[in-house]
């Protein structure tokens, strides 16, 4: 085999049509061996002959895509000083574009003996670990382009590749649970009919299956256990050939783009699957432990953990920052994804100890001409001190708004003194974002997500029921702000089931008619339940998968969800790009863009807002006072809306406000309806006039619309 010096950049294995350049960073390595793995498992070991800037590299003519490989790094094993090199461990390439296999939990994966933590383990891990695979980067993208939806026009759908598709009857069985399953016309049709503009996929970076879960008959279902930041997870691929998961993933993105749907990835750059000092040596730990991981300053044998997973990446090391930025650019430029949701993003801001919004990571993102132009969504918290940072990320970022989730849940379960904060949340949370020059699109509004109750369980359980996880109920959030509507769990009581259905409609309506970016958790539009389990991270089975066998109630909920998404899409008054001001140069009598009323149709007073037992209010959204140019510079106008919220258990009469707010109000939506398209307490042709009362059922929303044709008389 010919061995050429090669180049130190790019890192990883790069195929150019004639051969492969291999490059690996390690500042601590004394010697690096590249191990080519044959079909029979035999290794061909090649010393990397050149080192530039701590990058060890070689070029091998004739090596082709599909070649499996790994590294053995010779260097100090000195945990007390932060070094854990062990050439007996076959290591993944941190820049591997594809990975084959999974670990099996064998003792050889660890640098200590089971039961003897001080005994050095030099057993060879080959045959028990994962292998890197050289990939062919060439793909026919055709005329692919990003849909590039504006933030304010977006409806995000959080989904799990396997969980969304595993039981769908319209998808061929052999591709269920895969990238090809997501790309299937049956799945794309569902997403299109629902009206979502972006699918946010839970982790698809190559992750590790935890042996301790497998021993209990469980699995790492969610995938927040990354080991390969460039490689699509191999278990989600229907293709059987090595490295073909890359082609399949690209095909999925291309199909979604053709359907005008963006692809956002949930990415985990805050830690890796190697865990703490008792974890396996799979990749980074054996390459350069002290460069990749945050160690305890006074005790470098242990890891500084702000993620609750055993380790945290060292965000002030230039090669860690390079790894993350190279990964992000790769997924945008080579895989054509449209954005990222950053798991435990506060950890990325911990350049030293505190969360610093001006850390090097944010500086790099801000100046990067590629990454800065895609959608960037932060989960703005971690488990470290000062980790809850909702509202504090830089202006380029949007955030999962945990305050929105908590407030809306409290409002609809009848908690006292929630009116004021509810008003702030449904109008874009200006109290959190406006001070830093941000806009309503800074807020990703959600009520449920993968972590926690589903929407159906949120209205069906007061307590979590996580016994199936095998942790004695100790796992998962205990304070869920849920309400079971009077009965814990499944019931045949028609009053309870009707109330639960109405509450789900209330949540969906609130979410989709709020200013900001709505995010729907997969299956919530179908009434998906998890039997009260609010932490299905280890349940790769029917409990966590979306069940597509729908009953009549679920079909009605889906129809309702489609209807409300369409209402948002058709009316820019619900998806404004600027915060509502309360005052402004409206066309009709100087009206502002928003006004708040009590059920009597009178303007809300301080007393009304602060009344602890009050659970009802009405908001006027003035379609004539949007005053925002569209992308062509033309002024946007819309119909006006009155939205009446009644979170009380008692029905209540609301009154249409005075003449100044216009006449000819039509009922657009009533969440007390059980039959979609039929308003139970109104005739479709009824127009409501100022001073007229209209009934709002207990725990429901009524949306009234005043068409613009009625505003200007023609």
More confident residue, 348 or 143: 143
Percent of the chain beyond pLDDT 70? 94
Confidence class of residue 502 from pLDDT cuts 50, 70 and 90?
A: very high
Residue 316: per-residue pLDDT: 87
pLDDT at 592: 87
Give the pLDDT confidence score for residue 381 in this predicted structure: 78
DSSP bridge partners of 342 = 267, 378
Percent residues over pLDDT 90 in the chain: 84
552 Cβ contact list (under 8 Å, min separation 6): none
Q: What is the pTM of this model?
A: 0.95
Report the candidate in 675, 677, 662, 671 with the shortest Cα–Cα distance to residue 703.
Answer: 671
CA distances from 350 to 81, 188, 272, 346, 616 (A): 22, 39, 16, 7, 42
Q: What is the pLDDT of residue 354?
A: 64
91: left (phi over 0), alpha (psi -120 to 50) or beta: beta
* For the chain, the helix, strand and coil percentages under 3-state DSSP, each to the nearest 5: 25, 20, 50
Mean pLDDT of the chain: 93
pLDDT tens per residue, range 382-395: 777 787 888 888 88
Environment class of 669 (CB within 10 Å of its CB; exposed 0-12, middle 13-18, buried 19+): buried
pLDDT in tens, 422-468: 999 999 999 999 998 999 999 999 999 999 999 999 999 999 999 99
Identify the pLDDT of residue 268.
Answer: 95
Position 711 scores a pLDDT of 43
Q: In the prediction, which pLDDT does 713 show?
A: 35
How many residues are listed for the chain in this entry? Answer: 714
What pLDDT, on a 0 to 100 scale, did the predictor assign at position 687?
87
* pLDDT recorded at residue 619: 97
Q: Residue 588: what pLDDT? A: 47
Q: What is the pLDDT of residue 680?
A: 42
Active site includes 379? yes
Condensed to tens digits (0 to 9), the pLDDT of residues 650-690 reads: 999 999 999 889 899 999 999 998 654 444 444 555 789 99
pLDDT digits (tens, 9 = 90+) for 270-311: 999 999 999 999 999 999 999 999 999 999 999 999 888 999
Q: Looking at residue 395, what is its pLDDT?
A: 87
Dihedrals φ, ψ of 443, to 5°?
Answer: -100, 115
Indicate whether 349 pLDDT > 90.
Answer: no
Q: Sign of dihedral through CA atoms 337, 342, 343, 348?
A: positive
Q: At 574, is the pLDDT very low, low, confident or very high (cuts 50, 70, 90)?
A: very high
pLDDT at 397 over 90: yes
Active site residue 490: no
d(CA 340, CA 324): 12
pLDDT score recorded for residue 709? 61
Question: Six-digit token pair at 131?
Answer: 């292998």
Identify the three-state secondary structure at position 652. Answer: strand
Which phi and psi angles does 298 have, rounded to 5°?
Answer: -90, -5
pLDDT at 630 over 70: no
pLDDT for res 385: 77
Between CA 343 and CA 340 the distance in angstroms is 9
> What totals of helices (H) and strands (E) does the chain contain, helices first?
17, 35
Q: In sequence order, what are the residues at sequence separation of 6 or more whose Cβ sits closer than 8 angstroms to the Cβ of residue 268?
A: 203, 205, 224, 225, 226, 343, 344
Which H or E element spans position 74?
Answer: strand 68-74
345 in helix, strand or coil? helix
Is residue 61's pLDDT more than 80?
Answer: yes
Residues forming beta bridges with residue 619, ordered by sequence position: 596, 643
Q: Give the model's pLDDT for residue 684.
A: 52
The residue annotated as part of the active site, out of 379, 410, 608, 639, is 379
Out of 305, 343, 382, 556, pick the active-site residue. Answer: 343
For position 627, what pLDDT does the model report?
Answer: 66
How many angstroms separate the first and last alpha carbons of the chain? 82
Confidence at residue 616, expressed as pLDDT on a 0 to 100 scale: 97
Confidence of residue 208 (pLDDT cuts 50, 70, 90): very high
- The first and second tokens of residue 377, run together, are 């969504």
Tell whether the model's pLDDT for residue 710 goes beyond 60: no
- The rounded Cα 582 to chain-centroid distance in angstroms is 32
Q: pLDDT at residue 358 above 60?
A: no
Taking alpha carbons only, the member of 560, 196, 580, 654 closest to residue 426 is 580
């Amino acid at each position: 085999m010919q061995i050429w010096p090669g180049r130190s950049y790019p890192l990883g294995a790069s195929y150019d049509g004639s051969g492969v350049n291999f490059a690996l960073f390690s500042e601590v390595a004394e010697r690096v061996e590249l191990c080519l793995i044959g079909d029979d498992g035999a290794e061909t070991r090649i010393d990397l002959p050149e080192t530039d800037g701590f990058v060890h590299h070689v070029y091998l003519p004739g090596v082709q895509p599909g070649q499996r490989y790994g590294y053995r790094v010779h260097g100090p094993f000195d945990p007390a000083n932060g070094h854990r090199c062990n050439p007996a461990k076959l290591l993944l390439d941190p820049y591997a574009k594809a990975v084959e296999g999974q670990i099996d939990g064998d003792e050889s994966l660890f640098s200590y003996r089971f039961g003897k933590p001080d005994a050095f383990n030099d057993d060879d891990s080959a045959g028990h670990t994962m292998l890197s695979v050289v990939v062919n980067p060439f793909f026919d993208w055709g005329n692919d382009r990003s849909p590039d939806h504006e933030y304010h026009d977006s409806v995000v759908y959080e989904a799990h590749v396997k969980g969304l598709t595993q039981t769908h009857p319209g998808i061929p069985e052999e591709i269920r649970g895969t990238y090809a399953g997501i790309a299937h016309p049956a799945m794309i049709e569902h997403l299109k009919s629902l009206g979502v503009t972006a699918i946010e996929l839970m982790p698809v970076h190559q992750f590790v299956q935890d042996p301790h879960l497998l021993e209990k008959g469980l699995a790492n279902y969610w995938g927040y256990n990354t080991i390969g930041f460039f490689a699509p997870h191999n278990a989600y691929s229907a293709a059987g050939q090595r490295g073909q998961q890359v082609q399949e993933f690209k095909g999925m993105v291309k199909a979604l783009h053709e359907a005008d749907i963006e692809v956002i990835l949930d990415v985990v750059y805050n830690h890796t699957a190697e865990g703490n000092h008792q974890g396996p040596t799979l990749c980074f730990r054996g390459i350069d432990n002290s460069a990749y991981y945050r160690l305890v300053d006074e005790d470098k044998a242990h890891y500084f953990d702000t993620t609750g997973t055993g380790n945290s990446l060292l965000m002030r090391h230039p090669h860690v920052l390079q790894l993350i930025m190279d990964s992000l650019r790769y997924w945008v430029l080579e895989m054509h994804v449209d954005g990222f949701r950053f798991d435990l993003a506060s950890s990325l801001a911990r350049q030293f100890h505190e969360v610093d919004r001006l850390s090097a990571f944010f500086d790099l993102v801000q100046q990067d001409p590629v990454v800065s132009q895609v959608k960037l969504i932060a989960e703005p918290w971690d488990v470290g001190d000062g980790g809850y940072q909702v509202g504090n990320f830089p202006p380029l970022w949007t955030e999962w708004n945990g305050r929105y989730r908590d407030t809306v849940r409290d409002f609809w379960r009848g908690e006292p003194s929630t009116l004021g904060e509810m008003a702030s949340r449904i109008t874009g949370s200006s109290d959190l974002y406006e001070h830093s020059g941000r806009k309503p699109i800074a807020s990703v509004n959600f009520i449920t997500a993968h972590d926690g109750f589903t929407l159906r369980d949120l209205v069906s359980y007061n307590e979590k029921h996580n016994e199936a996880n095998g942790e004695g109920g100790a796992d998962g959030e205990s304070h869920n702000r849920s309400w079971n509507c009077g009965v814990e769990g499944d019931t045949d009581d028609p009053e309870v089931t009707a109330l639960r259905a109405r509450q789900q409609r209330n949540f969906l309506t609130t979410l989709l008619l709020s200013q900001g970016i709505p995010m729907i958790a997969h299956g919530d539009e179908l009434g998906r339940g998890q039997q009260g389990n609010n932490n299905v991270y280890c349940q790769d089975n029917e409990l966590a998968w979306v069940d597509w066998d729908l009953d009549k109630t679920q079909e009605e909920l889906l129809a309702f969800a489609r209807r409300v998404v369409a209402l948002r899409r058709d009316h820019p008054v619900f998806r404004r790009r600027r915060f509502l001001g309360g005052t402004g140069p409206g066309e009709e009598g100087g009206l502002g863009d928003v006004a708040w009323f009590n059920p009597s149709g009178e303007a809300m007073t301080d007393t009304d807002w602060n009344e602890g037992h009050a659970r009802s209010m009405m908001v006027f959204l003035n379609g004539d006072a949007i005053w925002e140019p569209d992308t062509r510079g033309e002024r946007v106008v819309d119909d006006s809306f009155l939205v009446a919220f009644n979170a009380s258990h008692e029905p209540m009469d609301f009154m249409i406000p005075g003449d100044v707010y216009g006449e000819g109000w039509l009922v657009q939506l009533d969440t007390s309806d059980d039959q979609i398209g039929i308003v139970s307490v109104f005739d479709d042709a009824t127009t409501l006039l100022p001073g007229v009362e209209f009934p709002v059922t207990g725990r429901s929303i009524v949306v009234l619309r005043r068409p613009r044709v009625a505003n200007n008389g023609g």
